[in-house]
Structure 1
Amino acid sequence: MSFPQAFVDPSSIAVVGATEDRAKWGYWLATGALVGAGRRQVWLVNRRAAQVLGRPCRPTVGDLPETPDLVVLCVPSEHVLPVVRDALAKGCRAFLGITAGLGADEDELAAMLNRAGARMIGPNSLGLFNAAANLRLAWGTFAPGSLAIVSQSGQLGSEIAALGARAGLGVSRFYSVGNQLDVGAADVLESLAADEHTTTVALYLESFADGARIVTALEALRRAGKHALVLTTGASEGSRRLARSHTGSMTSALDVVDAACRVAGALRVATPRELVDVARVLDATAPPGGRRVAIISDSGGQGGIAADLAASRGLRAPVFTDRLQTGLRALLPAAAAVSNPVDLAGAGEADLQVYAQVAELVAASGEVDAVVMSGYLGCYGEDSPSLESAEFTVIDRLGNLGHLGRTTDAPHVPLLVHSMSASSPAVARLREHRVPVFDTVDAALGALGRVTRLGRKPRPAPATERIAMAAPAPGYWAARTFLTALGIAMPEARRVTDAAGFAEACVSLRPPLVLKAGWIEHKSEHQAVRTGLGPDTAPAAFREMYERLGPGEYVVEEQDTRPGVVEMLIGARRDRDFGPTVAVGHGGVHTELWRDVSVELAPVDRQTATGMLDRLRSRRLLDGWRGQPAVDVEALIDAIVAVSEAIAVTTGVADIEVNPIRVGPEGALAVDALVVSRSAPEVEPEIEPEVAPEVSGVNGHRETTEKQEKSREHVH
């Protein structure tokens, strides 16, 4: 169902539970609704009061003279169902549910709404706000602006709004979606794409139950010229426990959320402060075209710290050309540093106009994508009132610099300012010019680094037609067959069931050999794998394993003994929120120790697969490390793409893992694999050990501990 206009600009509102008690929700919702009484009809409903806030009250929604467009519920939980039933009978079809703690009544409420074709935001919502429509149905107040906030946690959404207000950033719309009984975050995001008053959307979610639709909605925002900033939980076991207790739903792993953001062109941030810092930069300017930053400071120490922080935030402070340095020397004392960072060396104190002159010269040079000014600017008039007028003149020039590129053909070079003053008149004037100003340089550079990431082109959206292809039968031999059909090379092998077949296989294969009990997934706990077998040791190894484990499907294969290989991991699984995903990382016996994994939504193309490898700490191993040869990266990329396509198109497969895939100079060879059907029971992932467990094995085949074997079912 579509997002009702009643949640955007209702023609009439009924506040059920209106009261004059300022400590109760009914007061804030009633007073907020009455602010817009000149735009729409507002009715107050209270069974026990004939009048509230000087306005007449009706005992029930059914007693209203007309059918309200939007009904706001702030009554005790035991009264919600009767009120909704009464309102539905009146013809109401849009509800804002503030009340929390409905418990089992939520199911009945959902059924009632569904039967009537009605929609609800909430329950357990903190309310909604639309500045353009003078719609104020929430606790507290909001300053109008360009930031839309969509939050599963109402209080955290309010914190974002409050932080924004302190920084001069206002709110266009606010939606606290609460328990998302009916209307979810995706519904609200879809409605914001056409909102002309919104330039940036802040999204806070603790769960992504409608993940694929949320990605589509975020993509639509990007196409509409709006930026989306995503805040979520899930980095620690503690945050996952909190999310369960607070919302009753699991959080999505952050690596998968990041992958979804890369597809959607959105940006995940870690804290409300980070979100607001990025949002106020975006409120003032478009993302820069690259990562080159000029640092201008009136202190060598502050400039040096800023340069170090820039590098840690993914920015580059390039050395200026001789031509630009010559131009800067003409403006600055001989002691000034002009290579980048630029140290004004007292020139600013001698003539405040130097701040603007240097910034203008650097911004027009074409050598940088952004300018960060750090230091005392903003404090001159505050500390010495006689300098306030001159400081304002400089700030007015800097304000014009920040606007260059918006209405002219000049290069767009955003200006950010770090001032040692947090609230001087000069800082306020910078904000009037929409120049982002920060009270710490790390906040300024952190915001710039994140905004720069938003300027990058989103990765291609995964799109492939799914087919109802069944998962392979259980067992290692079937997994081998599945992977080789994808074009992934595996060692030469034979399937055997008895000693005679094993002896025949040993004759046809090249030693050393590996013997596996193919039907056992967790082979180590049953000692179901033996490596390094030759003519003298193979018969006894098979006899001992057969006598201990009994009849079944055994696999004997040639052991990979190639020198100079790098062991990698390729895994794919169906994330319950976002769907098919693929991961690649450092594989083999140290997989759990290094935890070096890169994740994307599946399927991926070769370009995206290459980017996945480039994000790994272990990437340099593939190019040759300490005298080792470079390996066949193209063969590894082929395998990543193949596995990603397989998990995306085969609806019967839940998990695929290839670990390790041994990549050498002459190709890639998968030497162990697991494919799990969607019908197989899910196993909870175990907490990773703090240290690597003991392992044994030779030449790429290994005997792992029980924890390692179990963890291989869960790539993420």
Structure 2
Amino acid sequence: MSQTPLAAALLEPATVAIVGASDDPRKTTGRPQRFLAQAGYRGTAWFVNPRRDTVQGEKAYPSLSALPGVPDHVYVMTGADAAVDAVAEAARLGVPVVTVLSSGFAEEGAEGLAREDRLRAAAAQGPTRVVGPSSLGVVNPRNGVMLTGNAAFGEPDTPRGGIFVASQSGSVIGALVSRARGRGIGFAGLVSTGGEADLSLGEICTATLDDPEITSYALFLESLRHSGHLAEFAAAAHRAGKPVAVYKLGRSEEAAALTVSHTGALAGEDTEADAFFRACGFARVSTFEGLAEGPALLERIPAGSGPRTPRVGVVTTTGGGAAIMVDQLALRGVSVRAPSHELVDRMAAAGASVPHSLISDLGLAGARHDVVTAALRELQDSGEYDLIVFVIGSSARLNPELAVQALADRGGHAVPVVGFALPDAPDAAALLAASGVPAFRTPETCADAVAAAFARRTATIDPERIGACPSDEPVLIDEQASAEVLTAVGVPVLPSVALKIASLDDVDLPFGFPVVVKALSDQLAHKTDVGGVVLNVGDADGVREAARRIVADVAHRAGVTVDRVLVQPMAEPGVGEVLVGFRRSHDVGPVVVLSTGGVQAELYDDVAVRLAPVDRETALEMIDEVRGLLVLKGHRGAPAGDVTALADAVVAMSDLAHELDVVEAEANPVLVRRSGAVALDALVRQVTDRSVTA
């Protein structure tokens, strides 16, 4: 099966040992022994309990050192301090893998963090790698490895298949197995990664990629800790052609802690996670069941192979069920396409008559093998669709040999077909799964998986850039210095002149009036809020007056002493204003952010985020993604903006990824004109102050 030494010890151990094994099979610490026997584990299992001679009728040993040999995999189910001792003993013996159920580590504050350091130090005494702590275990249904206390594995015959599950939540591995039972969905392995004090989720998955029986991955994430390892896995999974579905908690969380820019508010933790998953080539599902049911569809639609706006057809024997499906697809941005009149005529000639409608409704009388076969053949061969969704009525439960069997027979076509049965029909789902046809329990899950499959792009992740964030505290630099940083990477910025407040007798500008006068200070992130900006200044006297007003207002509202002002020419109105931002995330590395511009940028959930740097194609894709930027396309006959110039500005901003001292940058607004685009304001935070004096 597996080929790497780590994967072999993790999933195919010839010998296992359970430390803290209980004599009571009903206890969590007694379950693994019972589960191993029930699953028919073919290796040798040893049990360690220093207080008993036997556990559940098997010999108990006082310690790992007392075992007849060195086990390949040890599962520790003791208290936290005893677990550290057990790991140290395992390391001295040369045990390859130890999985630790015990809690009481990083989640318990300073004392727990210190204990976790001791755990890592204990493992480092030998070749031992640690899964956990707080791991509910490792399961391989293919060979009976059941090193888990999860009660869901108490049921016999854990379903076998090609999905490898890695979860940061222990209960999820059992929950997915219970939901998959009887539906033809099976697993090649399940690992609860727990606290990831040593082995990370990404490392574990990477180690298993050479296993030919693993065909896809399902990841349940609570956070993006160790994202560098996850990025390495993503790149390797892409090379191996193995799709990855991911479910991550946190969609409903407030944005990450705000920084001084609007960009910090817009690029919240979950938005950055989306950008990360996109670059990884992962399919992010938003329904829990989609994590189990989605991989079958991902195996049929390779990353980046499908169109961004897929042509989806719906065929059904129940109009109401099809309407639900159309609704759910539309909510996720997937539009259903009606068959052409020519296709409807061909279907009728083949014996599968449907009305001219958005859906191909065969009706109750159409729930026959020959009718469904004819309908699917014409739809799949038509060249009008990228995917067919079949919504099956009551026959799915009572007579699966009719419509369901016909659907199963068409599963090998180049145009994939998926099935959703309106009634609960596990036998039909199992039949479809056995035929390679993805089947879904709910319309929400089906629509979720379809949207995620077609949104998945080819992996572009660069693991070297993940987590490249300076450790020093960044500082805000003033607008003039910020503009120099942006200009250096190619972001067009309005010309400007810095004037000292003490030397305003001679106002000599290299550009004409009117102008804008701004407070110039590295203590002011948002000047408008504190009276730091005066617009439409018409002459030199106006500049002096504006400067005096700015000094007084900023001192009063912000308590900041301003000794310089920045003067820029007033920009002619453009087609639209845009925010282009950059920030360096501790979790996912550098990202570029695009949104509608101005002071209201963060009021609307209308933002596109990508890992930086990006190319022009990606920048244009981001522009299309922000609904508020439709105005740039010439809405209702209005002049169109120079979208290409904006895309070039996005690409230039994203090149700050190469400037490792820049932590955050923003051009807001960028004025998009009919020809060209220019930043009207600049803000940069960096670890080395580049500020210059006038």
Distance, in Å, in 2 between the alignment partners of 1:618 and 1:38 is 59
Are the equivalent residues in 1 in contact too, given 2:218–2:291 (CA < 8 A)? yes
Residue number among 480, 485, 496 corresponding to 1:482 in the alignment: 485
Shift of 1:240: 8.6
Residue number among 347, 361, 367 corresponding to 2:378 in the alignment: 361
Structure 1 counterpart of 2:371, one-letter code: V
Deviations 1:43-89 (Å, cap 9, x if unpaired)? 11111110122211111112122222222100122322232333333
Shift of 1:528: 2.8
Structure 2 counterpart of 1:95, one-letter code: V
Residue number among 511, 521, 524 corresponding to 1:521 in the alignment: 524
Residue number among 316, 320, 329 corresponding to 2:348 in the alignment: 329
Are the equivalent residues in 1 in contact too, given 2:22–2:55 (CA < 8 A)? yes
- Whether 1:154 and 2:170 are equivalent positions in the alignment is yes
Residue number among 50, 55, 59 corresponding to 2:53 in the alignment: 50
Are the equivalent residues in 2 in contact too, given 1:396–1:433 (CA < 8 A)? no
Shift of 1:551: 6.1
- Report the secondary structure of 1:491's partner residue: coil
- Whether 1:566 and 2:576 are equivalent positions in the alignment is yes
Aligned to 1:271: 287
Q: Do the aligned partners of residues 87 and 588 (structure 1) sit closer, same or farther apart at CA in structure 2, a change above 3 Å counting?
A: same
Distance, in Å, in 1 between the alignment partners of 2:369 and 2:681 is 68
Q: Percent identity?
A: 28
Aligned to 1:293: 312
Distance, in Å, in 1 between the alignment partners of 2:7 and 2:344 is 59
Are the equivalent residues in 2 in contact too, given 1:151–1:203 (CA < 8 A)? yes
Distance, in Å, in 1 between the alignment partners of 2:371 and 2:40 is 53
Aligned to 1:12: 15
- Whether 1:491 and 2:501 are equivalent positions in the alignment is no
Distance, in Å, in 2 between the alignment partners of 1:467 and 1:28 is 44
Structure 2 counterpart of 1:542, one-letter code: A
Deviations 1:223-260 (Å, cap 9, x if unpaired)? 2121111111222337999xxxxxxxxx9812111111
Distance, in Å, in 2 between the alignment partners of 1:234 and 1:29 is 32
- Report the secondary structure of 2:98's partner residue: strand
Q: Do the aligned partners of residues 630 and 614 (structure 1) sit closer, same or farther apart at CA in structure 2, a change above 3 Å counting?
A: same
Q: Superposition pairs for residues 390-409 of structure 1, below 5 Å? A: 392=401, 394-404=403-413
Aligned to 2:548: 543
Residue number among 147, 153, 170 corresponding to 1:137 in the alignment: 147
Deviations 1:620-672 (Å, cap 9, x if unpaired)? 111123453111111111111111111x1111111011111111112212111
Are the equivalent residues in 2 in contact too, given 1:497–1:551 (CA < 8 A)? no
Aligned to 1:700: none
Residue number among 357, 366, 375 corresponding to 1:348 in the alignment: 366
Q: Superposition pairs for residues 315-464 of structure 1, below 5 Å? A: 315-331=334-350, 336-338=354-356, 340-348=358-366, 353-376=370-393, 378-379=395-396, 382=398, 388=399, 392=401, 394-404=403-413, 412-423=414-425, 426=428, 428-454=430-456, 456-458=457-459
Distance, in Å, in 2 between the alignment partners of 1:546 and 1:424 is 73
Structure 1 counterpart of 2:311, one-letter code: R
Distance, in Å, in 2 between the alignment partners of 1:473 and 1:423 is 60
Shift of 1:18: 1.2
Distance, in Å, in 2 between the alignment partners of 1:540 and 1:111 is 66
Are the equivalent residues in 2 in contact too, given 1:208–1:252 (CA < 8 A)? no
- Whether 1:194 and 2:203 are equivalent positions in the alignment is no
Residue number among 243, 267, 271 corresponding to 1:227 in the alignment: 243
Are the equivalent residues in 2 in contact too, given 1:564–1:629 (CA < 8 A)? no
Q: Do the aligned partners of residues 502 and 99 (structure 1) sit closer, same or farther apart at CA in structure 2, a change above 3 Å counting?
A: farther
Structure 2 counterpart of 1:543, one-letter code: R
Which has the larger displacement, 370-379 or 164-173?
Answer: 370-379
Aligned to 1:85: 88
Are the equivalent residues in 1 in contact too, given 2:168–2:195 (CA < 8 A)? yes
Which has the larger displacement, 670-679 or 594-603?
Answer: 670-679
Q: Do the aligned partners of residues 166 and 254 (structure 1) sit closer, same or farther apart at CA in structure 2, a change above 3 Å counting?
A: farther
Structure 2 counterpart of 1:635, one-letter code: A
Distance, in Å, in 2 between the alignment partners of 1:8 and 1:106 is 24
Q: Do the aligned partners of residues 322 and 420 (structure 1) sit closer, same or farther apart at CA in structure 2, a change above 3 Å counting?
A: closer
Shift of 1:156: 2.1
Q: Do the aligned partners of residues 656 and 200 (structure 1) sit closer, same or farther apart at CA in structure 2, a change above 3 Å counting?
A: same
Aligned to 2:538: 534
Are the equivalent residues in 2 in contact too, given 1:519–1:553 (CA < 8 A)? no
Shift of 1:519: 3.2
Distance, in Å, in 1 between the alignment partners of 2:444 and 2:245 is 19
Q: Do the aligned partners of residues 474 and 166 (structure 1) sit closer, same or farther apart at CA in structure 2, a change above 3 Å counting?
A: same
Shift of 1:552: 2.9
Q: Do the aligned partners of residues 340 and 498 (structure 1) sit closer, same or farther apart at CA in structure 2, a change above 3 Å counting?
A: closer
Residue number among 60, 70, 74 corresponding to 1:71 in the alignment: 74
Are the equivalent residues in 1 in contact too, given 2:661–2:687 (CA < 8 A)? yes
Structure 1 counterpart of 2:219, one-letter code: L
Are the equivalent residues in 2 in contact too, given 1:459–1:608 (CA < 8 A)? no
Aligned to 1:668: 677
Unaligned runs of at least 5 residues, structure 2 = 106-111, 258-266, 690-694
Aligned to 1:311: 330
Distance, in Å, in 2 between the alignment partners of 1:524 and 1:115 is 59
Are the equivalent residues in 2 in contact too, given 1:467–1:649 (CA < 8 A)? no
Aligned to 1:698: none
Shift of 1:487: 2.4
Residue number among 643, 647, 650 corresponding to 1:640 in the alignment: 650
Shift of 1:594: 2.0
Distance, in Å, in 2 between the alignment partners of 1:569 and 1:621 is 14
Structure 2 counterpart of 1:361, one-letter code: E
Are the equivalent residues in 2 in contact too, given 1:569–1:587 (CA < 8 A)? yes
Q: Do the aligned partners of residues 556 and 359 (structure 1) sit closer, same or farther apart at CA in structure 2, a change above 3 Å counting?
A: same
Shift of 1:441: 3.7
Distance, in Å, in 1 between the alignment partners of 2:249 and 2:363 is 45
- Report the secondary structure of 1:125's partner residue: coil
Unaligned runs of at least 5 residues, structure 1 = 242-250, 383-387, 405-411, 681-716
Are the equivalent residues in 1 in contact too, given 2:372–2:406 (CA < 8 A)? no
- Whether 1:205 and 2:214 are equivalent positions in the alignment is no
Deviations 1:307-336 (Å, cap 9, x if unpaired)? 4444334434334344322222225587x4
Shift of 1:26: 2.3
Q: Superposition pairs for residues 17-32 of structure 1, below 5 Å? A: 17-32=20-35
Distance, in Å, in 1 between the alignment partners of 2:32 and 2:649 is 57
Are the equivalent residues in 1 in contact too, given 2:95–2:127 (CA < 8 A)? no
Q: Do the aligned partners of residues 89 and 629 (structure 1) sit closer, same or farther apart at CA in structure 2, a change above 3 Å counting?
A: same
Shift of 1:502: 6.3
Residue number among 616, 634, 637 corresponding to 2:626 in the alignment: 616
Q: Do the aligned partners of residues 32 and 293 (structure 1) sit closer, same or farther apart at CA in structure 2, a change above 3 Å counting?
A: same
Distance, in Å, in 2 between the alignment partners of 1:298 and 1:432 is 22
Distance, in Å, in 2 between the alignment partners of 1:508 and 1:252 is 39
Q: TM-score, normalised by structure 2?
A: 0.86
Distance, in Å, in 2 between the alignment partners of 1:610 and 1:443 is 30
- Report the secondary structure of 1:402's partner residue: coil
Are the equivalent residues in 2 in contact too, given 1:494–1:505 (CA < 8 A)? no
Q: Do the aligned partners of residues 397 and 269 (structure 1) sit closer, same or farther apart at CA in structure 2, a change above 3 Å counting?
A: closer
Aligned to 2:109: none
Distance, in Å, in 1 between the alignment partners of 2:197 and 2:359 is 53
- Whether 1:185 and 2:201 are equivalent positions in the alignment is yes
Q: Do the aligned partners of residues 640 and 431 (structure 1) sit closer, same or farther apart at CA in structure 2, a change above 3 Å counting?
A: closer
Which has the larger displacement, 634-643 or 87-96?
Answer: 87-96
Deviations 1:541-570 (Å, cap 9, x if unpaired)? 22344565656333222121x123311001
Are the equivalent residues in 2 in contact too, given 1:492–1:509 (CA < 8 A)? no
Output the aligned Cα RMSD: 3.2
Q: Do the aligned partners of residues 352 and 338 (structure 1) sit closer, same or farther apart at CA in structure 2, a change above 3 Å counting?
A: farther
Structure 2 counterpart of 1:15, one-letter code: I
